[in-house]
Amino acid sequence: MTEKTAKKAAKKTAKKATKKAAKKTAKKAAKKTAKKAAKKTAKKTAKKAASTPRAKGPYDLVIVESPSKAKTIKKYLGKGYQVVASNGHIKDLPKSKLGVDVKSNFEIDLVPITGKKDKIERIQELAKGADKIYLAPDMDREGEAIAHHLAEEIGKPSKIHRVVFNAVTKTAVQDAIANPATLKKHMYDSQKTRRVLDRLVGYKISPILWDKVQRGISAGRVQSVALRIIVEREDEIKAFVPEKWYSIAGVMEKENTKFEFKYYGEEPKKKTELTEEDFVKKIVSDVKGKPYNVTDVKKRERKQNPTPPFTTSKLQQEAANKLGFTAKRTMMVAQKLYEGIQLRDHGMQGLITYMRTDSVRTAPEALEQVREFIKDKYGNDFLPTEPNVYKKKGSNKVQDAHEAIRPTNLLFTPDEVRGDLEPEQQKLYELIWNKFISSQMSQAIIDQTTVTFENQGHFFRANGSIIKFPGFRTVYLEAAAEKRSKKGGDDEENENDVKSGLLPEIIVDENIKALKDALETEHWTSPPPRYNEASLVKDLEEKGIGRPSTYASIISNIQDRGYVEKIENRFLPTELGAVVCKMLIESFPDVMNVDFTAQVEELLDKIEEGEVTWKKVLKEFWKGFEVTLEKAKEEMKNLKKQNIPTGINCKKCEDGEYTIKWGRNGQFLACSNYPDCNSTYDFKKSLDGTITILPKNWFHDPCPTCGKKLEVKTGKYGRFVRCEEYPQCETTLPYTLKITCPECKVGKFAEKKSRYGKFFYGCSNYPNCENALWSMPYEYDCPSCGYGIMTYRETKREGKQLQCPKCKHKVDWDITPFAKEEEEVSAE
């Protein structure tokens, strides 16, 4: 063997040994890591087991829905009780299959919810050693279902008791434990019926929509009807033809008091509508410069009654109107106030009664407390001789078992808890407080005056009202004044302003000359407004769609599914929403019928009352629904295969014609020569059916792959850019702004969507740069710290502004020049 060969062999042997040693080391390290991980898991499991509440001596077990409520209740009950939370439902229908056997008398298959197996086992373990078991989920149908599921899993019927409390207070909790009830089977049956109906509709209709429209979309028994009322409102708005009308008004002055007068009619007691311009001009000409004779002065005292404390829907409406809260946000904040807040001087306290209720009733002991409070704070004049009693309109009795929403303890005034509550909790608590206190106060007394004037045979009126005694309005005015003070603004009255609500002393047969002659104003009738959070909740309640506990989820669902979008706080159906809605109305008229949905709610109430059996209701529903399903599978039009010719010539090829096709983001125009020609355009259709091709929205940078233009498109996760030659060139990129990140100076801000559906702007150099902003950035050097960008913000109080992400410095700003610049870039 030569020296060279020996060297080579030695090298090879050494390499082999090194490799073997490395392998051995890696194996050893992997074994060590696995051992460490196993040890860590075991430690974690032991810790978890140790964290399970245990008692040294005998104990009773209380099971509630939420951990925060469990903490509050544990403090109230003290030793001898273990309190554990189920964290909502523990069992439900399986996600992977229907879970309802319609052929076997609607047998349902309930399985533990994913991730809840450990929770169930812990509850079972605690239940074994308990003397008594108190099931204390919420008092609504869903809470009753949770209680039944817990009872089924624990399996100790002799030990089990059901407890409910309207408020998480020491007295309410201890009273409930001292006076336990039994499980309500009919209430559980009602919940089961609702769940099965929702499952049958969702799991049977959705696959048809996948086949005919697009994969991934779905239908819901109640949500689809809510979608219908939004779509039909939009149809009304599109079909609305505005009509012209006029008003005539002027200004008078007497005793240094200016007041407005308006045209009423050609007779003193019959109003005349003004629609003809010539007639309006004649009236204005007739009365110009001539005195007005007072023909009648009517004074009357009007009494205004307070309104009842909040129900769930009214709370959602008021919170939307006054605080700008969504229904979902309102319920989340109210849930926290109900379950308990840590107060610095009073410990954990539930501040409001149960927040899912249709009732306007107040407990007698609470009435005594609030009357004492009103007397002490406002005086006897503000306290009616007898408590104000309210009755719920309509025939619904079921939810009236619960009280209206009110503060649990009047010692915890909004001022007392200020600082302990988050800002949104404070706002909602004050709203509930003010409404409850005012509901038991005296009537407001208002003096109303109506003066009728005659001039050349034409009659005019001036109205004035003065609050003689504010009564319950005292509380509301305080709240409104506080809201105005937050907005700021100049409170000084302009000397030329006409004071509303105030009239001087005027007598019959008096002649008064106008300070400003009566002039006409042209108006146009308006279409019905689009729904906002408050008006949608109100309509859902009035039409009997859903229940107080479901309004928030109904509104969230139709937005999450992409059927409805919220623009300027108003709900608009998307193209997908409008098309799916109309297809469902055609194929499933009963399911989409508002009255039918309301009747189902009434049937659920009857099941709860024990007037009808739940399986009978399901059988009746399925009988008609099964037939409709089979018909829909055959007859529902297939949008995926839709190819409607438009007669519009293709802009790219010579002999192609644009046809209307359906894609994942709605309808679009595509060339009939596809795939040889890939020309596509978005379009809009007018009421008369005319199609207008919309210009392409081009991106500011060219395609990095082929150099052609990039087109801005909108998808499930917001805007993105795609090569105009797609699918020949498959380049797809995130939508980025022409702003370089000031942190890394490499990436640009990309428009992204969070998992919760909120847009944000993150650096495209992520993960190397984690700079992200929740508001739209603009290239604008901060005058305070010099940072290279500022973000856009708009509030009612401060208007349009730019704010520095670093030092939070704000500057007033006009978006218009920037918006025009962006439009020009897109047009290029």
The pair of structure tokens assigned to 703 is: 């395609």
Dist. CA 434–CA 443, nearest whole Å: 15
**Cα dihedral 651/653/657/661 (nearest 10):** -80
Instruction: Tell which phi-psi region holds residue 340, choosing left (phi > 0), alpha (psi between -120 and 50) or beta.
Output: left
Question: Is residue 724 packed enough to be buried (19+ CB in 10 Å), middle (13-18) or exposed (0-12)?
Answer: buried
Q: 406 near 309, Cβ under 8 Å?
A: yes
Closest to 90 measured CA to CA, from 146, 170, 39: 146
E strand or H helix at 204: helix 185-212
DSSP letter (8 states) at residue 654: S
CB 77 within 8 A of CB 173: yes
Give SS3 for 492: coil
Task: Return left, alpha or beta for 256; rule: phi > 0 is left, psi -120 to 50 is alpha, else beta.
Answer: left
Contact 197, 587 (CB under 8 A): no
CA 587 to centroid of chain Cα atoms? 29
Radius of gyration from C-alpha coordinates of the chain: 34
- Are 141 and 190 a contacting pair, CB within 8 Å? yes
Strands 160-162, 244-254: pairing kind: unpaired
What tokens does 781 get?
A: 């050097």
Looking at 354, 429, 563, 681, which residue is catalytic?
354
Do strands 292-304 and 341-343 pair parallel, antiparallel, or not at all (unpaired)?
unpaired
Q: How many CB atoms lie within 10 A of CB 92?
A: 18
Any catalytic annotation for residue 792? Answer: no
To which H or E segment does residue 438 belong? helix 423-439
On the question of a cis peptide bond just before residue 727, with omega within 30 degrees of 0, the verdict is yes
Buried b (16+ CB within 10 A) or exposed e, 515-551: eeebebeeeeeeeeebbbbbbbbbbbbebbbbbbbbb
User: Furthest-apart CA pair in the chain: how many Å?
Assistant: 139
Give the tokens for residue 410.
């009047």
For the chain, the first-to-last Cα distance in angstroms comes to: 77
> What is the Cα–Cα distance from 721 to 725, expressed in whole angstroms?
12
| Angstrom distance (rounded) from CA 798 to CA 721 | 35
CA–CA gap between residue 91 and residue 499 (Å, rounded)? 63
How far apart are alpha carbons 147 and 63 in whole angstroms?
Answer: 9
CB atoms within 10 A of CB 215: 11
Q: Provide CB contacts within 8 A for 485, sequence distance 6+.
A: none
Give the helix, strand, coil percentages of the chain, each rounded to 5. Answer: 40, 25, 35
805: preceding bond cis by omega (within 30 degrees): no
Tell me how far CA of residue 145 lies from CA of 120, 191, 192, 197, 630, in angstroms. Answer: 15, 7, 8, 15, 32
Enclosing H/E stretch for 120 = helix 117-128
**Active site residues per annotation:** 354
